[in-house]
Amino acid sequence: NAGVTQTPKFQVLKTGQSMTLQCAQDMNHEYMSWYRQDPGMGLRLIHYSVGAGITDQGEVPNGYNVSRSTTEDFPLRLLSAAPSQTSVYFCASRKGGTSGNTIYFGEGSWLTVV
């Protein structure tokens, strides 16, 4: 049972480039989300999904796109990378309903935009 898996772990991008951060979970969780964490700051919600085909915006969605074609995968796309998007990105998932108490996080993806 791998839990929440994020790839890549480290990435350096040039301004204007696009890329996709991958997130997969093998726990059959309905809910998945992406957070970013800037140095010394808390987590900020980018986008989230309550099931396949359903996504919604979080606190800081601008510059990012998501899709949820399967229950397992929730990729985060940076359309045109900017230095302000330099951050650590965490993917998370949890089970739906009243039994979905615990949020499980991936190990993070460190992104630097130069």
Query: Which residues make Cβ contacts (< 8 Å) with residue 80, sequence separation at least 6?
Result: 16, 17, 18, 63
Phi/psi-derived region of residue 46, left when phi > 0, alpha when psi is between -120 and 50, beta in every other case: alpha
Question: Is residue 48 within 8 Å of residue 114, measured between CB atoms?
Answer: no
- Provide, rounded to whole angstroms, the least separation between the CB of residue 16 and another protein: 27
Query: Applying CB under 8 A, which residues contact another protein?
Result: 4, 31-33, 35, 41-45, 48-50, 56, 58-59, 88, 90, 92, 94, 96-98, 100-108
Closer by beta carbon to another protein, 21 or else 92:
92
Closer by beta carbon to another protein, 10 or else 14:
10
- Provide, rounded to whole angstroms, the least separation between the CB of residue 47 and another protein: 10
